[in-house]
Structure 1
Amino acid sequence: MPCASAAMIFAASLFLAASFSTLVAVLLYVLVQTAVPAFGHTTTSSLALVRGLYFPSGNLIMSLNPSASASPMVLYTEPLTYHQAMNSDDQHLWKKAIQTEKDALDKAHTWDIVNRPTNRAVVKGKWVFKVKHNADGTIERYKARYVAKGFTQVQYQDYDETFAPAARYDSLRLLLALAAHNGWTPQQMDVKSAFLYGVLKEEIYMELPEGYRQDNKVCKLRKCIYGLQQSPREWYACLADSLQRKGFVPAKFDPCIFIHKNHHLYISVYVDDIMIFGPDSPFRKEIRQLLKADFECTDLGNSKFILGIEITVTNNGITLSQCAYINKILDKFGMSNCKPVGTPLEPNLNLHKGDVTGTMGVETMKPRNTTEAETWT
């Protein structure tokens, strides 16, 4: 009997704890909806009410706006659905981005519009919206992409192999070190709608994009599209074949690093981002022109920003920085206005040798002022 009573008391305490947690979560949600309506453009003071706990209706993107005098941080909401995009304050920008993507799909003859099949599953699709940023955190452009919901594909019917390599950060740093040592200036190219160049071997039917749908009509894919399970693999195969025909071979340590057989030229591939390393020569210019002939590329010139890393080339070498990423993290945790210090500890802190147990004795460290005390709390 004592054991049974103890078990009942323990179960009751768990129930009360769960109920209390649920109540707190509901109250926080109500507070957020009241303090930050729909997560449009707002200020840091309204976010402070919930101390960083929020439930946004879209992906929250934070960037610095130097022209704002009252609050240096502006919050942008990326819609999660087509309906949200069409009802947002920036709907005219999202409509323009959607039309740009639709024009690219039509130009590539990505699909044929056919009647809905009765004996095959139709892959679902959705619009994905992204606010692209420059290295300093300012907005570059609004981008929309129509993607397949790959998880609705049927394995061995809609796809088979799916593995596709991507360049490692270690390999990128190695090439940047090599460029700094030899005085090279890395150059960068971006392939537009890269996955559309992949050859689709399977017969796949997919929903038409929202905003362009027709009754009882679907699209029969002719090209790979973003979101399909096999798209990254087919795009890599297409690009690798193009580079090998130009005299490049994949490196043994990283299949996304291509080394030319006869020239000091290296190419790094991360999905649709291409970086070219080597001396400034007519051959490097020729390779860039050949890539433009094979794919529709944006020639970005000298590399300045890739994979969240800002690249600065000077006479003294190459500097890598993630300033925009650091500012984003500081904004996320409410540390944008914190007071920076040059040292992690008090300058005059006295340390003395520990005792035989191996512990280190230190004097009690006090914050220098109220601002720092709040910063480290």
Structure 2
Amino acid sequence: MPILPKRHKDLKNHPLGDLFRKAEKTHLKSHKEVRSWREVQREEAAGKELLDCMWVYIYKFDKHGWFTKCKARLVVRGDQQAKSTHEDTYASTLAGRSFRTLMAIAARFDLELLQYDIVNAFVNAELKQDVYMRMPGGYRKPGLILKLQKALYGLRQSPLLWQKELTTTLTNIGFKSVPHEPCCLSKGGILIFFYVDDLIVAYEKTNQKSVEWTIGKLREKYQLSGGDTLQWFLGIEIIRERNQRLIWLSQSSFVDKITSHFRIQGGKPSLTPMTTKELLPNK
């Protein structure tokens, strides 16, 4: 694949520039639909913090590694925000040990595992503070800037605002947080755990109707994609043998990536994880 562009002006001579421009317009349209911002005169931000933004471009691949599409996302330069000593910006994420525990529970009790992606998750959270941002590259208008109304990607406070938003939504439909794990909630035999915009639902088949009702409630507020059986989560492949009630967690794709990066494919495998030679003198 061609090297990814770093800024909008790089699209002019990029082999896939047209696809990335289309991705930009699709992304901006999604912001317009949820009213992520409104255009204001530059004078409104006089004496206030005015943040830059940047385009982030990525290639999307399917689970087999085949290219599927070009994607563009607008990110605020949150690194330009003044750090506040009184404002809490810490957002919890699902701990690795919690994920492994949940997989063990799913294996032991033969739970169904469904995976959903919440599209443009952060912009579902309202932004209470006044935050101003320059218009994105390629779409600027003279004398105008943007006043943000939603928690865009890149802002320091966005992850926490989104976590509070999703947790409140789940709490309002009867879910309760699991002790010591803020990113996992339960209700009547249904477990929901999430990592930013990746959401997993674990449940017994007898709770199928309750799960459908829950997903319906989430769809009333958020745009969800997916809904298939869990196969990948944060780069980890989930392999199940349900008749044996076993689940394997594999990072073979990560191993392949590392071996490719360091060019060690096809090397002679080591029989031990470290050298068998004595490194320290025997005294």
TM over 0.5: yes
In the other structure, the counterpart of 1:116 is 42
Q: Deviations over 1:319-364 (max 9, x none)?
A: 222222121111101123x1565x616xxxxx9xx9xx869xxxxx
Which structure has the greater CA radius of gyration? 1
* Partner Cα distance (2:110, 2:69) in 1: 32
In the other structure, the counterpart of 1:93 is 19
> Cα RMSD between the aligned structures?
2.2
**Corresponding letter in the other structure for 1:111:** W
**Contact 2:11-2:18 within 8 A present in 1 as well:** no
Between the aligned residues of both structures, percent identity stands at 27
In the other structure, the counterpart of 2:63 is 135
Is structure 2 residue 249 aligned with structure 1 residue 320? Answer: yes
* Partner Cα distance (1:140, 1:309) in 2: 20
Instruction: Quickly say closer, same or farther: Cα 1:197–1:103, change in 2 above 3 A.
Output: same
Structure 2 unmatched ranges of 5 or more: none
Is structure 2 residue 10 aligned with structure 1 residue 81? Answer: no
TM-score (structure 1 length as normaliser): 0.67
Which of the numbers 231, 242, 248 marks the counterpart of 2:169?
242
In the other structure, the counterpart of 1:298 is 225
Aligned residue for 1:77, secondary structure, equals coil
* Partner Cα distance (1:311, 1:141) in 2: 24
In the other structure, the counterpart of 1:151 is 79
* Partner Cα distance (1:330, 1:234) in 2: 38
* Partner Cα distance (2:192, 2:122) in 1: 19
Aligned residue for 2:48, secondary structure, equals coil
Q: What pairs with 1:45-84 in structure 2 (closer than 5 Å)? A: 75-84=1-10
Is structure 2 residue 154 aligned with structure 1 residue 227? Answer: yes
**Contact 1:86-1:95 within 8 A present in 2 as well:** no
Aligned residue for 1:144, secondary structure, equals strand
In the other structure, the counterpart of 2:204 is 279
Which of the numbers 129, 133, 138 marks the counterpart of 1:211?
138
Which of the numbers 192, 196, 211 marks the counterpart of 1:267?
192
Q: Normalized per residue, which structure has more strand?
A: 2
Is structure 2 residue 115 aligned with structure 1 residue 198? Answer: no
Aligned residue for 2:47, secondary structure, equals coil
Is structure 2 residue 215 aligned with structure 1 residue 288? Answer: yes
**Corresponding letter in the other structure for 2:65:** G
Give 1:209 deviation, angstroms. Answer: 1.0
Give 1:155 deviation, angstroms. Answer: 3.9
Instruction: Quickly say closer, same or farther: Cα 1:160–1:91, change in 2 above 3 A.
Output: same
Structure 1 unmatched ranges of 5 or more: 1-74, 346-350, 360-377
* Partner Cα distance (1:83, 1:319) in 2: 45
Give 1:156 deviation, angstroms. Answer: 4.7
Which of the numbers 7, 26, 33 marks the counterpart of 1:107?
33
* Partner Cα distance (2:84, 2:104) in 1: 43
Aligned residue for 1:235, secondary structure, equals helix
Q: Of the two structures, which has the highest relative contact order with CA contacts closer than 8 Å and spacing of 6 or more?
A: 2
